[in-house]
Amino acid sequence: MKSAVNLFSVLMILLLSSGSFAQIQLFSNIEELKYLDAFEEPDSNWYLPAFDDSAWKSDSAIVGFGYGPEGYTMSDSMAKSLYVRFPFYIENIESIEALNLMFDYDDGFVAYINGHEVARVNIDTTPEFPAFDARTLRSHASEFIVGLTNPVLGIYLDRTVLNECLVQGENCMAVHVLNDTLADDLMFIPNLFDMTGYRFNIWNILARYKRQVSVDSTNLPLVVIETDQYGIAYDQSIWTTAWMGVIHNGEGTYNKFGDDFNAYNGLISMRQRGQSSRDFAKKSYRFELVDSLGADTTVTLLGMPKESDWILFGPYTDKSQIRNKMVYDLVLGMGQYAPRSRFVELVINGQAEGLYMITEQIKRDKNRVDISKLTETDIAGNKVTGGYIFKFDKTDPNMKWRTKRREIVYPDVLQDEQKEYLTTLFTEYDSVLLTNDFTDREIGFRKYINDTSLVDFIIANEFTKNADAYIYSTYMYKDRDDVDGRIKFGPVWDHDLSFGNTYFQEGNMVEGWQFDYNHATMKLRRLFQDRNLVQLLQERWWMFRQDALSNETIFGYMDELLEQVKEVQERNYEIWPIIDKELFGPGYYVDSYENEIAYMRNWIEERLAWVDNNINDIHYEMEYVGNDLLTKKEGFVLLQVFPNPFIDNLKFRLYVEKECDARIDFYNLQGQLQYSEEMNLVSGSSEIICNGSELESLKSGMYFAMIFCNDNLLESIKLLKVD
C-alpha cells in the first residue's frame, strides 16, 4: 500500500488555479489511521472509543484501491467495504465552535465521533448501521485524486452536533466507507479542521463546507438532478450529461419527493459557470435541455418562453438571495428586456443545495435578445451587419473572440469577414468620440448607438450602484442595419454586487456615480459632455421614478420576493452557514438574515434619495480638440508594445493626460496572474521596460497584458512569449 504524508497534521490541497499545494495545520498529535478490510461484520463496538483496534492495519493518510498504477491498494481489493478509525485531540473543548469534515471518498460513508453519528453521505438512512456488504445509493468518485474539484467540499458540524459527542482530550473518529460495486474501487481521505472564529473570504479554502440538511417538501419548484460518479467538473470546458426532474404543482401548493416530475423530466447537459464564483462553495451552473441523442431540445420551463439554454444561479455572496431577480424584474418593468427567472429549491445527487434561481441565458432568440440570426454565409452587404451580441468583461480563456476590448458572445463562430466588420465598427465608434463632431446626431455617436437604451442601462446600474457596471458583465447587441443597426445596451446581468453589497469599486457607498468610477471602458465621461444625453438621462429617471422605479414599486416588489423565499432561505442558511461570514470584499457586516434585509432596505432608500438629489446636477465640460485629434483625453491615447513576440523583455510606450498610478498585469490563458508591474506615470509620454527573471521565466505561450490606470482597465493586449 502507498504511504503518504500525515494528512491529519497537514492537508495537501490541490489548488487547480495555481497547481501548487497549501499546508494547513490542525491537530499535531495525530500519528496514524487504523483500518479494516471488511469481509464480514466487524465487532459491533468497532465505532466506539473503547474498542481495541490494535489488530487493524495502519497507515498515515490515504486508504483504498482501484485508483491508478501507483496503488493506494489494500491487502485485498475484493474487500466489501472499509472501516476506519483515528484519534484527534481537543485541548480546550469550550473553545471549539465548529468542525469541518473535509472527507474525500468513493463511494459513500457514515461517520461517528465518540460513537455518535455525525455525517452520512450517499448511504440509505433506513439501517442505523449499514451491513459490511451494503451498497451505496449512487456512485461517487474520489475528487481529490481525480482532480475534479477545487478543493473537496466539507461537512460542517456546529455546536449543536458537537455538544452531543465531543470530549476534552482524545476523541475518536470512526468511519464506515462503502462501495457502489463489489471489487470496483474504494477510497477514503480524511481531513478535519477547527472552524472556530473563522470569518473568511472566498479565496480561503476552509470556506468550503456545508451542513447536511434533508428536504421533505418546499413551496418553490423542486429541481432534482442526478449525475454520474464524477459529478459536475470544475473545468468549465467539460459538459456533463445528467438527468433532471422538476416538480411544480402550482403556486401556493407544496412540492415534495414522490410527486410527479410534471414540469420537466429528462436529460440535460450541464457545466459549472462563473469565473470568481466558480470557487464558491455553492456553485452555479449552465445547463442545456437535450434529448436521448444529446441534441438540444426547446421546452417551456416554469412558465418561461421555451428554449434549450438556461442558468441555475446559486446566490452566495448575495446574502439577501434576491438581488439579481429583483433587478432583472424591475428592468423588465422599465420596458427593457432582462432575463426572466424563477426561484427553485435544488437537490443534486441526493444532497440539498438550497435556494437557486433558474434564469434565461443571454442568447439570441425572439423571446430573449431579439435580433437577426447570423449564419456563416452572411459575410457581405447588409447581411454581415447583424445580429451580434458582445460584452465588456474579465478576460476569459474560453472566450470565442475579442476585438477592441469587446468579447463576442453571438454568434458562436465568426467568419473572417464578420470579424473585420466588427473591428471596423468598433474602431469607428471609438474614434468618433475623439472628434469635435461626436455630439452630432447624424455623424456622431448616435449614428452607432441607441441613446435611449444607453441611458436606461445606466439608470439600471446607477440606482443599484452595481460595482461591476460598465467594466464586467456589460452586454450589448446589434441588429442588421435594415432593422435598426444601432448598438443597444443590455441585457443587465450579474447584480449580486449591487445595493451596497461590496466595497469593490466603492459599491458600498450610497454617494457617487458608478459611471464616474468606472468610466474609462465605455468612455462615459466623454459621452456625458453631450448635454442632450444628460438631459435624456434626467428625463427618463424622473419618468421611471413615477412608476417603474418608485419607492412603492421597488419596496413592494422586494417584499413580494422576500415572501416567496421566506421558507427556503431559512433552509438555505442551514445548508450554507455563512450568513455571518465575510464574503468577497463585503461592504458591510451582518450576523442574521433579518439584519441583511434591514441594511439592504435602508441602503436602497438612501441611494434613491441621493440620486434624486444629484441627478439634475450632472455636468461635464466639453473638451474641444484641434485637427480632429483628441490631444486631451482621459486615460491612454497612445499605447505601443514591442517586441511581440518577446523573449525576456518588453517595452511599453504610453501617453496619459494626467498623472496616475498604472499597473500592467500578465495573465495566462487560464486567467492566472503570472507577472505584475506597477508604476507612477506623469502626464505625457512614458516608456516602461519590463524585464528581469520573473518575465524571463514565463513559459512560452500566449498571454494577456491588462493595462490599468488608477485601477480602471484601459486595454487588454495579446502577447506571445517564445524561448
User: Using one digit for the tens of pLDDT, what is the confidence trace for 382-391?
Assistant: 999 999 999 9
Could you tell me which residues are beta bridge partners of residue 241? Answer: 269
Residues 333 and 408 in one domain: no
Residue 170 CB partners (closer than 8 Å, separation 6+): 49, 87, 88, 89
Q: Which residue has the higher pLDDT, 435 or 608?
A: 608
Q: Is the pLDDT of residue 293 over 50?
A: yes
Among 182, 210, 238, residue at a domain's last position = 210
Confidence (pLDDT) at 7? 33
Q: Which three cell numbers stand for residue 374?
A: 447570423
Residue 685 CB partners (closer than 8 Å, separation 6+): 638, 653, 654, 655
* CATH for 181: 2.60.120.260
Rounded distance between C-alpha atoms, residue 35 and residue 661, angstroms: 58
Rounded distance between C-alpha atoms, residue 394 and residue 713, angstroms: 10
Q: Is the pLDDT of residue 544 over 60?
A: yes
Q: Which amino acid is at 723?
A: D
Backbone angles phi, psi at 705, to 5 degrees: -95, 120
Residues 594 and 515 in one domain: yes
Confidence (pLDDT) at 664? 87
What pLDDT band is residue 703 in, cutting at 50, 70 and 90? confident
Of the listed ranges 140-149, 410-419, 504-513, 606-615, the least confidently predicted one is 140-149
The pTM of this model reads 0.82
Confidence (pLDDT) at 69? 55
What pLDDT band is residue 446 in, cutting at 50, 70 and 90? very high
Could you tell me which residues are beta bridge partners of residue 312? Answer: 285, 358
* CATH for 662: 2.60.40.2550
Confidence (pLDDT) at 14? 31
Show the domain range for 668. Answer: 636-721
Compute how many other C-beta atoms are within 10 angstroms of the C-beta atom of residue 74. Answer: 20
Residues 662 and 703 in one domain: yes
Residues 176 and 318 in one domain: no
Pairing of strands 186-189, 104-106: antiparallel
Confidence (pLDDT) at 150? 60
Cis omega before residue 643 (within 30°)?
yes
| pLDDT digits 0-9 by tens, 552-598 | 999 999 999 999 999 999 999 999 999 988 887 788 899 999 999 99
Residues 660 and 598 in one domain: no
Confidence (pLDDT) at 399? 78
Confidence (pLDDT) at 115? 97
Q: Which three cell numbers stand for residue 325?
A: 431577480
What pLDDT band is residue 639 in, cutting at 50, 70 and 90? low
Residues 90 and 151 in one domain: yes
Q: Is the pLDDT of residue 204 over 70?
A: no
Confidence (pLDDT) at 121? 96
Question: What's the rounded mean pLDDT across residues 145-168?
Answer: 85
Number of domains in the chain: 4
Task: Tell whether 155 is covered by a domain.
Answer: yes
Q: Is the pLDDT of residue 327 over 90?
A: yes
Task: Tell whether 388 is covered by a domain.
Answer: yes
Confidence (pLDDT) at 27? 38
Confidence (pLDDT) at 456? 98
Confidence (pLDDT) at 13? 34
Residues 293 and 413 in one domain: no
Residues 121 and 95 in one domain: yes
Confidence (pLDDT) at 353? 97
Residues 224 and 163 in one domain: no
Q: Is the pLDDT of residue 335 over 90?
A: yes
Task: Tell whether 133 is covered by a domain.
Answer: yes
Task: Tell whether 271 is covered by a domain.
Answer: yes
Confidence (pLDDT) at 198? 67
Compute how many other C-beta atoms are within 10 angstroms of the C-beta atom of residue 556. Answer: 10
What pLDDT band is residue 376 in, cutting at 50, 70 and 90? very high
Q: Is the pLDDT of residue 519 over 90?
A: no
Q: Is the pLDDT of residue 443 over 80?
A: yes
What pLDDT band is residue 691 in, cutting at 50, 70 and 90? confident
Q: Is the pLDDT of residue 203 over 80?
A: no
Task: Tell whether 566 is covered by a domain.
Answer: no
Give the count of alpha carbons within 13 A of 197, CB side only: 3
Pairing of strands 684-690, 169-178: unpaired
Q: Is the pLDDT of residue 608 over 70?
A: yes
Task: Tell whether 702 is covered by a domain.
Answer: yes
Q: Is the pLDDT of residue 252 over 60?
A: yes
Rounded distance between C-alpha atoms, residue 133 and residue 181, angstroms: 10
What pLDDT band is residue 68 in, cutting at 50, 70 and 90? low
Residue pair 473/522 in contact (Cβ under 8 Å)? The answer is no
Q: Is the pLDDT of residue 176 over 70?
A: yes
Confidence (pLDDT) at 31? 61
Residues 301 and 394 in one domain: no
Task: Tell whether 366 is covered by a domain.
Answer: no
Question: What's the rounded mean pLDDT across residues 49-71?
Answer: 81
Element (H, E) at 693: helix 693-696
Rounded distance between C-alpha atoms, residue 210 and residue 571, angstroms: 12
Of the listed ranges 191-200, 303-312, 349-358, the least confidently predicted one is 191-200
Task: Tell whether 573 is covered by a domain.
Answer: no
Q: What mean pLDDT, rounded, does the chain reach?
A: 87
Residues 671 and 529 in one domain: no
Confidence (pLDDT) at 1? 34
Could you tell me which residues are beta bridge partners of residue 264? Answer: 246
Among 188, 210, 232, residue at a domain's last position = 210
Q: Is the pLDDT of residue 535 over 80?
A: yes
Among 330, 360, 390, residue at a domain's last position = 360
Give percent above pLDDT 90 in the chain: 62
Nearest Cα to 695, choosing from 650, 655, 661, 652?
650
Question: What's the rounded mean pLDDT across residues 348-356?
Answer: 96
Residues 135 and 261 in one domain: no
